[in-house]
Chain A
Amino acid sequence: MPTTAAREQLDGIRSTSDSIPEADSDRISEIRRDLLGRKSGRLTRLLRSLRDLEPGERKEIGAAANLLKNQVESALEAREQILSQQTASDDEVDLTMPSRKGWRGALHPVTTVVDEICEIFREIGFTRIVGPEAETEEYNFTKLNIPLDHPAADMQDSFYLAPGVVLRTHTSPMQAHTLEQYEPPIRIVVPGTVYRRDPFDPSHSPVFEQIEGLAVDEGISFVDFKAAIDFFVARFFAKGTSVRFRPSFFPFTEPSAEVDVGCPMCSGSGCSTCKQTGFMEIMGAGMVHPAVFERCGVDAEKYTGYAFGMGPHRIAMIRHGIPDIRMLFQNDMRMLSQFVD
């Protein structure tokens, strides 16, 4: 048999086999007989006739024919299986049998909180940046108007890496870096990991996430600050959540404020989560202290601004009712898989 004939046969067989996925069961038997029949099957015969070919041709055609035989066999098998399932009449299929599920991964609940917060502020013009976790005392404290010999520095017990080098105790150093690097208007949010020398307990961790926000321009006022925070709360928390601004103290803001929202657990009537106050503290904030502008080379008379800081770990705990912050670091599959959305 000439090679071209063999090739043509192969092509013919291939095109027959291509029709297998659509064939009904009669047609399947027919194809099986036609291609693989022990005596007159086309493929059987082709394989048998290989010995008549030139050695070089024989090798090539033979390999292709063998491969094709495997494919035809498995295609027939697969089609038969599908057909046999279809033959079972519809009322015999138990549709309560479980679906075929794929694994789906979840974002960490803290990531979700961070992303949502940044997204909301993006709507009012805030871009998202990050900064280093190891900082000099100068950026972590001094430039932010926190003298190292003032009780305010006690609020943030720090890990030291070298004399004058700390793991940042807040994301606020990025206020200083940004003020030095960019001209106002500045509108940024800065998520990132921060460190405090607090041992682990149900509500403390030496490592946690923080989001810093900073808006600086000519003519930004306390009203703009309140409006931005109000906008955020309205977007992030349940409809109708109340907001309360209280005086507070941060060396890098003046006036300083603590922002409370109506407790999401009890809607303000008082429960153990909010210690009966009906409110939850969600952020520290305020108008940028002119001393910070001065230390970062910004004209404090011309520019004003506001800054805020939030703790996504705490917010995630409140939001999901997670009782112990350590669970957010335990990496337990049984917990993480609850946050697949």
Chain B
Amino acid sequence: MLGQTVDPKDAAERLANAVAPVDAVEPIGDELADVIVALVQEVSQHPDADRLTVCRVDTGNGIVDVVCGAPNVTAGKKYPYASVGSVLPGDFKIKKLKIRGVESNGMLCSESEVDLGSEGGGLMELSVDSSPGTSLPEALKLRDTRLAIDVNPDRPDVLCHKGIARELGASLGINPRLCQIPGAPDDTKQPVRTGSTGEIAGVTVTIEDTEGCPRYMAAAVRGVEIGPSPVWLKSRMHSIGSRSINNVVDATNYILFELNQPLHAFDLDTLGGAVVIRNAQDGETLTTLDGELRELNAGMTMICDASKPIAVGGVMGDVGSEVTNSTTNILLECAYFEPKGIRATRTALKLTTDASYRFERGTDLQGMPDALRRAVSLIIAVAGGEEAEAPIDLYPNPIGHANVFLRPARVEHLLGVEIPIQEIEDYLTSVGFAVAPKDDRLAVQVPGWRPDVTREVDLIEEVARLRGYNSFPTEMRPFRPGTVPNDGIEILKARVRTALTANGLHEVRSVSFSRTPGPDAQPILNPLSADEAFLRTDLMTGLARSVEYNWSVRERNVRLFEIGTVFRRVGKDVRPAEQFHVAGVVTGARKATHWSNSSADNDYDLWDLKFLLEETVAVCGVGNIGENESGWAVTGEDGGRLGWAMEVVCDRPEWVARVFGFEVELTLGESTVRKFRTLPNTPPVERDLALVIPDGVDVAETETVMQEAAGPFLESVVIFDEYRTEGIGGRSVAWHLIFRAPGKTLRDRDADHAVKRIVETLEKKLDVRLRQA
């Protein structure tokens, strides 16, 4: 269409920079590189099999004998030939064979064997001038390059070759032209515009559903001969990765890929004189071409003949009205179907076709007459026949071209670069927009193939992409700071991460789905699997599973934490409540192995867990830690539960250690500024105190009493030993006490008095006594 050869790599680059990325640049013809043109010189009966012949074949590189089963093999004709050792499409390797005692050197091929058609019964006759030995891709001019383009959903215009040629033309400065169709009539009849009903070739066509189908055109071609397509058309089909079916079907596919206009050919003689485009009724059925019985619903647009449905409009036809080998007269449909209706229909039917894909994205409402006329001439060129009367054009409410105004100043405002008006006009006209200056604006007429362009900014995008995004400068200009403050929760998360990684835990990210139902579990209506049917309500379940996973790969030491969202169902049809949590789990050695360490008592225990919990709660700055039957609970100011820590029950193999875990809500507390405490300038007095704590008394209450009884100078208390032994009436706990008085040197006597008060009060209140020597 461009009138010149374009380097595929260059074309791919130009398309990527201006339109859409090219996923693949693939050579075509390579798959048939092994196949050559061969001349059958002589055909003789196989001595031992009625249906087989033995052919003397000139391969251009010697004469060989080939056993052949095709009935149409004729001496003096040329066929595709694959020698021994060569490979046919589908990875089919040719071997030397003995067929009923006769050696066969290679294979003569049918068109289906070389992927050029569906005919598999007979050999593919080659009416080419090429001498034997010429490679088939050369002889049939199959060699080409295929670009697979990843088209964005807003650009239906580049779902076809003309659209791509238009874009490449704009980039190269060439105005593309459609290719000549070999054997096409000089002209076709001008369609006749009518309202919602019209008549052609004895068929009355009526649009009832003008919403779903605002424009419907039909042409009639009489006297066609359905048969194989000519080689040029077959090779075009091959080059787009599609298989040749027959001349009429190939012709409609050709137009679909050339102009993005899906067409449908009906057997005119089966229609009973009427075509009606109407809304389907609930429960109506038809059997689509893929053999499925489809149930339709109201809202779908259906094409019917005088008595029955013949197609789901814009999606797929019914088997009964298709063109068959005996068809001689066809009615060619060229329609526009409303994108939203097509989308609803193909979704309901779970059926996406080349046609529905295009209608859904928007076809060219204005380009239909040209597409239909080209289709008619192509059909006549490849299948014969003639156009008995002018096509009809049912277009009850014609819609003109859309017009959009563009302010050149707005182009500069949005793109940040001044672009001269002439340049803007040139970009727009290069891809088919018609531009007329009006006051200080440009009135831009949008071509029918660009349904995506509806407002000024769409035109500005056109200017930007046609100028080339990479041509704009990347110059950092001044900016104003924003009004949105940083979210404190992100800062908190970072601090928790720092604290926990510093303690040796690795951060993980688990999937937020869960398989566990429950009153709080928010179900997913369309989960991928039953294992992922709910949103998680905690992080620990996932962490425990990760611990088990690590055990399964023989990892005994596991230290993990996660910060993530958990969900709580709050009611029907509303969003679930969301909360960030942090959870951690540790098991195995609390220190890396070192040759100087004793290995005993090196595994994580409850006290490591309590520290991790304290660290986390301290970083959060919210919550108090208390004890309960299973471990510790974190509660908020209002008494609400914020978290917990305990030994986690897992299905443990022999060789692993106990597992300890915690989980806490991440809640942003009041940020408080810490006040500096004056450093002490007086010496401390230290005392150690070993006490026997009776059963039922804990150290927390013991320390509370200690603090109360000590008077003002007790600075700190630290437990440095605990042991349990029979016969002392409890357990022995030893404290290190530090006394200090601000501003004066505390005397030993003061400390001794304080210790004495502590001991007496403890004994009185808690029956805690000094340990006997």
A residues sitting closer than 8 Å to B (CB atoms) are: 7, 11, 47, 50, 59-60, 62-68, 71, 97-98, 100-108, 110-111, 115, 124-130, 132-136, 149-152, 154-155, 159-165, 167, 178, 182-188, 191, 193, 197, 199, 205-207, 209, 215, 217, 219-224, 226-231, 244-249, 254-258, 287, 289-290, 304, 328-334, 336-337, 339-340
Contact = CB atoms under 8 A, between A and B. Distances in A.
A289 B457 contact: yes
Interface in B714-764: 734, 748, 752, 755-756, 759
Given A106-B501, A155-B153, A221-B415, A186 B457 contact: no
A331 B19 CA distance: 41
Contacts of A7: 748, 752
Nearest to B481: A125
Given A66-B773, A165-B574, A229-B474, 9 more contacts: A11-B748, A60-B770, A100-B596, A125-B481, A127-B487, A132-B578, A256-B461, A304-B414, A329-B511
A183 B483 contact: yes
B100 interface: no
B475 to A, nearest CB: 6
B339 to A, nearest CB: 8
Interface in B248-303: none
Given A67-B690, A67-B734, A128-B490, A247 B482 contact: no
A128 B469 contact: no
Contact of A59 (B416, B503, B572, B772): B772
Given A59-B772, A304-B413, A165 B573 contact: yes
Given A63-B772, A206-B511, A255-B465, A224 B484 contact: no
27 contacts: A64-B687, A100-B594, A105-B559, A110-B509, A127-B482, A130-B487, A130-B490, A134-B578, A149-B343, A151-B343, A152-B153, A155-B153, A161-B575, A187-B482, A206-B528, A223-B416, A223-B417, A224-B476, A226-B473, A227-B473, A229-B474, A244-B470, A245-B469, A246-B469, A255-B464, A331-B508, A333-B506
A63 B509 contact: no
Interface of B: 16-21, 152-155, 340, 343-344, 360-361, 413-417, 455, 457-458, 460-461, 464-465, 469-470, 472-477, 479-487, 489-490, 494, 497, 500-513, 522-528, 532, 535, 543, 546, 549-550, 553, 555, 557-561, 564-565, 567, 572-576, 578, 590-592, 594-597, 687-690, 734, 748, 752, 755-756, 759, 770-773
Contact of A65 (B479, B505, B773): B773
Contact of B483 (A103, A167, A182): A182
Contacts of B687: 64
A108 B506 CA distance: 7
Contact of A207 (B480, B489, B511, B689): B511
Contacts of B490: 128-130, 191
Contacts of A136: 575
Contacts of B564: 193
B479 A185 contact: yes
A334 B555 contact: yes
Contacts of A162: 525, 572-575
Given A63-B690, A67-B690, A249-B153, A101 B594 contact: yes
Contacts of B734: 67
Contacts of B549: 330-332
A340 to B, nearest CB: 8
A87 B464 CA distance: 80
The main secondary structure of chain A at its interface with chain B is: mixed
B573 A290 contact: no
Pairs of residues from A and B, 7 with the lowest C-beta to C-beta distance, nearest first: A103-B504, A221-B416, A223-B416, A105-B501, A249-B152, A62-B773, A245-B469
A134 B509 contact: no
B688 A248 contact: no
B478 to A, nearest CB: 10
B116 to A, nearest CB: 29
A111 B591 contact: no
Contacts of A98: 594-595
Contacts of B472: 222-223, 226, 245
Contacts, number: 307
Contact of A103 (B455, B508, B525, B559): B559
Contacts of A185: 479-483
A305 to B, nearest CB: 10
B344 A149 contact: yes
A184 B772 contact: no
Given A97-B595, A125-B482, A161-B522, A223 B510 contact: no
Nearest to A104: B504
A328 B509 contact: yes
A182 B482 CA distance: 9
A184 B689 CA distance: 65
Nearest to B151: A249
A262 to B, nearest CB: 13
A254 B507 contact: no
A131 B50 CA distance: 79
B475 A227 contact: yes
B592 A106 contact: no
A314 to B, nearest CB: 14
Given A133-B578, A135-B575, A230 B153 contact: no
Given A151-B153, A328-B509, A134 B528 contact: no
Given A223-B475, A245-B470, A50 B773 contact: yes
Contacts of A104: 501-502, 504
A193 B17 contact: no
Contacts of B773: 47, 50, 62-63, 65-66
A141 to B, nearest CB: 14
B595 to A, nearest CB: 6
A184 B184 CA distance: 62
A64 B736 CA distance: 11
A206 B479 contact: no
Nearest to B692: A63
B520 to A, nearest CB: 14
Nearest to A341: B501
Given A105-B500, A161-B525, A290-B457, A223 B470 contact: no
Max chain B C-beta neighbours (<10 A), residue from A67, A247, A330: A247
Nearest to B734: A67
Contacts of A231: 476
Contacts of A191: 490
A247 B18 contact: yes
Max chain B C-beta neighbours (<10 A), residue from A97, A151, A217, A258: A151
A125 B486 contact: no
B710 to A, nearest CB: 15
Nearest to A329: B511
